[in-house]
């Protein structure tokens, strides 16, 4: 094997350890949920229904995961990055200020899809770990009272270790998941060998016959069958880390065959012995291997939970960079992998939420009703965004877009409508979480616009202010040194600069007015990172620097300013002794009708989680000056 092939194999193994944890653990709970007798709309356990359900699971996976995501959606990327936030960024990138009404509505839908992902991030660890630990009941029924406490302990330990990063244990994820897929595939193959009649379920005629012949039963079963495609969004979201080719190879080469074999094997087992429907996944395993399978399943579900937790960090970070959330304190847990981050505020919020779900629902079957809604709603939104972008960017024929989108969305909407029947039984939960997160993000974006408008009014035009300074309208002294003033743009004067001149009566010999600009691209090369403007006057030591970043980059102002050349700054910049000035805004509720009163309260409350500007921008604390100002919203 050559060096190139070795690298490709390593990337595929890495993808197996991160990307497929969620969808790869779905066989644990999908079939038993479909035939759960406590379901408000139970599916009768008959041989015909078993064939129909297994066939529906197979073709749902093939259409939604293999066709929609692997074959189509993953062809759209934002400079290599995927995921619903990347789709939103692409709409903003290509639409700009002239974004059409349709694109604007789709961007809002995409934002709601991102909000639903936070609900997914809460439900996935709860249902995954619960379903794995529940396997101990198969080994020893007397242990059933320990399922919830053990699950809670595992979750607390999982979140407590997040701050240490996944770089070290991440190397183990790939081999563990390979072992997992080989194990479930082998157990499934053994089950099929004992009853090969189940292979008839691979024919679409059984899925179609089940839907057409017993639609009133099949329709309600879709609310549980959708669990087979949980994690499909992760394939797209993690495309930037591993690439489309590695994910496609991992899916087609190992994950898909293993999962299909597991579903077929479980179906074969139920056909032979209907009493196994209570836990077909673990009962498919030979008696001697059930305890090891429970341990392996627990490890696999922890990995699945880890992947979605890391995804929540990434979505929150991207949302903050794109202006949908305040800046959050972010810790990088790996010196070599930029994507490995830790967001403390999100971590502890998720931990409390996951523990609450475990203690409230107490079983994976009860949580399954809530899980499906978050999954299919996100899939439906992603499919809609994909076809709009494909039509606009690729110029595919309208008839092809209508036929393609119509066919796939019809399937998505069928699943979605089936899950709506579970609203009263837990389906409301992800919608409530998503609606809450969407309201927070939409309110923050709107509030920022209000604050920016009021702040610009208080700051006044930059060039007019500098003209007055140069005309000595404000008597001042030039003092030695370099001052860096952080500002939102170059149209207005920084409040801290105004205060320095108008009240302190001083002006540094060299002044850099720096604005941070986040572009709707994931990463930006250093060659295009800075732009310099002399503000119409050469020789007075005052320049404006635009520092541009991608929405997945981490702003580091001092490191970026070191990219400046002496020719751009009218002489060398002494950054080692430079002072940094940051204007801190105190928000208060005003009488102006800018936002509804409750949204004003929400916006102000959300502002309290804003990370320290000096830490977020990489400023040296011992040389950073914070100057306050008050703005009414």
Taking only the tens place, the pLDDT of each residue in 228-246 is: 998 888 888 878 777 888 8
- The structure tokens listed for 591 are 């009488």
pLDDT at 350: 92
Q: How many CA atoms lie within 13 A of 566 on its CB side?
A: 3
Q: How confident is the model at residue 95 (pLDDT cuts 50, 70, 90)?
A: low
Would you say 496 and 625 are in contact if contact means Cβ atoms under 8 Å apart? yes
- The structure tokens listed for 154 are 């595992």
Q: How confident is the model at residue 469 (pLDDT cuts 50, 70, 90)?
A: confident
Mean pLDDT across the stretch 177-205? 95
pLDDT at 166: 57
State yes or no: pLDDT of 352 exceeds 90. Answer: yes
- The structure tokens listed for 13 are 């193994």
Is residue 465 classed as helix, strand or coil in its secondary structure?
helix
State yes or no: pLDDT of 209 exceeds 70. Answer: yes
Is residue 426 classed as helix, strand or coil in its secondary structure?
coil
- The structure tokens listed for 214 are 């017993």
State yes or no: pLDDT of 334 exceeds 60. Answer: no
pLDDT at 490: 81
State yes or no: pLDDT of 163 exceeds 70. Answer: yes
pLDDT at 103: 75
Q: Are strands 331-332 and 341-342 parallel, antiparallel or unpaired?
A: antiparallel
DSSP3 helix / strand / coil % (the chain, rounded to 5)? 70, 10, 20
Q: How confident is the model at residue 391 (pLDDT cuts 50, 70, 90)?
A: confident
State yes or no: pLDDT of 459 exceeds 90. Answer: no
Closest CA to 25 of 150, 131, 142: 131
Cα–Cα distance measured from residue 164 to residue 26, given in angstroms and rounded to the nearest whole number: 28
State yes or no: pLDDT of 549 exceeds 80. Answer: yes
pLDDT at 505: 87
Mean pLDDT of the chain: 85
State yes or no: pLDDT of 328 exceeds 90. Answer: no
Write the burial class of residue 123 (CB in 10 Å: 0-12 exposed, 13-18 middle, 19+ buried): buried
Domains and CATH numbers, the chain: 15-426 (1.20.1740.10), 453-632 (no CATH)
Strand partners, 542: 511
State yes or no: pLDDT of 7 exceeds 60. Answer: no
- Residues ≥6 apart with Cβ < 8 Å to 621: 614, 615
Q: How confident is the model at residue 332 (pLDDT cuts 50, 70, 90)?
A: low
pLDDT at 99: 57
pLDDT at 625: 87
Q: How confident is the model at residue 165 (pLDDT cuts 50, 70, 90)?
A: low
pLDDT at 131: 87
Q: Which stretches within 251-395 are classed as H helix?
A: 256-272, 280-283, 290-321, 344-361, 364-394
SS (H, E, C) 81-106: ECCHHHHHHHHHHHHHHHCCHHHHHH
State yes or no: pLDDT of 397 exceeds 90. Answer: no
pLDDT at 229: 93
Would you say 557 and 484 are in contact if contact means Cβ atoms under 8 Å apart? yes
State the DSSP H helix or E strand holding residue 444, giving kind and residue range, or none if neither.
helix 428-459
State yes or no: pLDDT of 363 exceeds 70. Answer: yes
Mean pLDDT across the stretch 556-583? 84
Distance from chain centroid for Cα 128:
18
Cα–Cα distance measured from residue 396 to residue 72, given in angstroms and rounded to the nearest whole number: 13
Mean pLDDT across the stretch 588-604? 85
In this predicted model, what pLDDT tens digit does every residue of 486-506 receive, in sequence order? 888 788 888 888 888 888 888
State yes or no: pLDDT of 581 exceeds 80. Answer: yes
∠ Cα 327 332 337 (to 5°): 125
State yes or no: pLDDT of 192 exceeds 70. Answer: yes
pLDDT at 442: 92
Percent of the chain with pLDDT over 70: 95
For the ranges 170-174, 342-346, 447-451, 553-557, the lowest mean pLDDT is seen at 170-174
- Residues ≥6 apart with Cβ < 8 Å to 494: 459, 485, 486, 487, 513, 581, 583
In this predicted model, what pLDDT tens digit does every residue of 258-316 receive, in sequence order? 999 999 999 999 999 999 998 999 999 998 889 999 999 988 888 888 878 888 888 88
Q: At which residue do the structure tokens 């702003």 appear?
A: 555
- The structure tokens listed for 176 are 């563990």
Cα–Cα distance measured from residue 390 to residue 401, given in angstroms and rounded to the nearest whole number: 8
In this predicted model, what pLDDT tens digit does every residue of 59-80 receive, in sequence order? 999 999 999 999 999 988 877 7
Other CB atoms within 10 A of residue 153 CB: 13
Please, what is the end-to-end C-alpha distance for the chain in angstroms? Answer: 63
pLDDT at 456: 81
Is the four-CA dihedral 587, 588, 591, 593 of positive or negative sign? Answer: positive
For the ranges 22-26, 93-97, 366-370, the lowest mean pLDDT is seen at 93-97
pLDDT at 340: 64
State yes or no: pLDDT of 538 exceeds 60. Answer: yes
Would you say 548 and 577 are in contact if contact means Cβ atoms under 8 Å apart? no
Q: How confident is the model at residue 533 (pLDDT cuts 50, 70, 90)?
A: confident
């Amino acid at each position: 094997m050559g060096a190139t092939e070795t690298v490709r194999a390593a990337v595929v193994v890495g993808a197996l350890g991160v990307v497929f944890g969620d969808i790869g653990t779905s066989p644990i709970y999908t079939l038993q949920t479909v035939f759960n007798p406590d379901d408000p709309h139970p599916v009768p356990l008959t041989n015909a229904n078993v064939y129909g359900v297994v066939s529906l699971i197979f073709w749902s996976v093939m259409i939604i995961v293999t066709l929609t995501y692997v074959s189509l959606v993953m062809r759209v990327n934002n400079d290599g990055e995927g995921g619903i936030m990347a789709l939103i960024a692409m709409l903003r990138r290509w639409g700009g200020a002239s974004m059409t009404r349709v694109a604007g509505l789709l961007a809002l839908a995409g934002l709601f899809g991102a909000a639903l992902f936070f609900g997914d991030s809460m439900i996935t660890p709860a249902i995954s770990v619960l379903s794995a630990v529940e396997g101990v009941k198969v080994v020893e029924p007397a242990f059933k009272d320990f399922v919830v406490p053990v699950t809670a302990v595992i979750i607390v330990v999982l979140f407590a270790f997040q701050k240490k990063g996944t770089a070290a244990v991440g190397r183990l994820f790939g081999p563990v998941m390979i072992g997992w897929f080989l194990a479930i595939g082998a157990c499934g193959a053994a089950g099929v060998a004992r009853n090969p009649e189940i292979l008839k379920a691979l024919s679409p005629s059984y899925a179609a016959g089940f839907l057409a012949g017993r639609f009133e039963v099949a329709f309600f079963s879709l609310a549980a069958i959708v669990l087979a495609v949980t994690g499909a969004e992760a394939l797209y979201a993690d495309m930037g880390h591993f690439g489309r080719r590695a994910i496609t190879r991992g899916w087609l080469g190992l994950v898909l065959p293993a999962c299909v074999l597991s579903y077929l094997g479980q179906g074969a087992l139920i056909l032979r012995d209907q009493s196994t429907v209570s836990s077909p996944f673990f009962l498919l395993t030979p008696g001697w291997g059930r305890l090891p399978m429970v341990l392996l399943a627990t490890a696999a579900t922890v990995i699945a939970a880890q992947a979605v937790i890391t995804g929540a960090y990434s979505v929150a970070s991207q949302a903050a960079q794109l202006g949908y959330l305040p800046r959050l304190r972010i810790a990088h847990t790996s010196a070599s992998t930029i994507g490995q981050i830790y967001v403390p505020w999100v971590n502890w919020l998720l931990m409390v939420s996951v523990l609450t779900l475990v203690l409230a629902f107490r079983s994976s079957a009860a949580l399954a009703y809530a899980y499906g809604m978050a999954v299919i709603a996100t899939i439906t939104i992603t499919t809609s965004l994909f076809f709009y972008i494909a039509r606009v960017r690729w110029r595919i024929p309208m008839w092809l877009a209508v036929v393609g989108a119509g066919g796939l969305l019809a399937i998505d909407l069928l699943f979605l409508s089936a899950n709506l029947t579970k609203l009263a039984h837990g389906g409301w939960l992800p919608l409530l979480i998503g609606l809450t997160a969407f309201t927070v993000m939409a309110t923050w974006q709107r509030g920022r616009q209000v604050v920016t408008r009021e702040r610009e009014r208080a700051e006044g035009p930059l060039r007019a202010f500098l003209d007055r300074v140069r005309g000595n309208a404000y008597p001042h002294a030039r003092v030695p040194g370099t001052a860096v003033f952080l500002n939102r743009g170059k149209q207005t004067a920084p409040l801290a600069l105004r205060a320095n001149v108008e009240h302190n009566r001083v002006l540094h010999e060299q002044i850099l007015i720096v604005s941070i600009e986040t572009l709707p691209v994931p990463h930006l090369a250093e060659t295009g990172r800075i732009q310099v403007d002399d503000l119409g006057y050469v020789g007075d030591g005052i320049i404006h620097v635009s520092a541009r970043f991608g929405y997945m980059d981490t702003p580091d102002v001092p490191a970026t300013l070191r990219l400046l050349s002496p020719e751009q700054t009218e002489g060398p910049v002494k950054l080692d002794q430079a002072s940094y000035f940051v204007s801190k805004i105190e928000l208060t509720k005003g009488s102006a009708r800018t936002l509804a009163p409750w949204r004003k309260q929400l916006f102000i409350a959300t502002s309290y989680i804003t990370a320290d500007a000096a830490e977020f921008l990489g400023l040296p604390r011992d040389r950073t000056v914070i100057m306050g100002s008050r703005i009414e919203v």
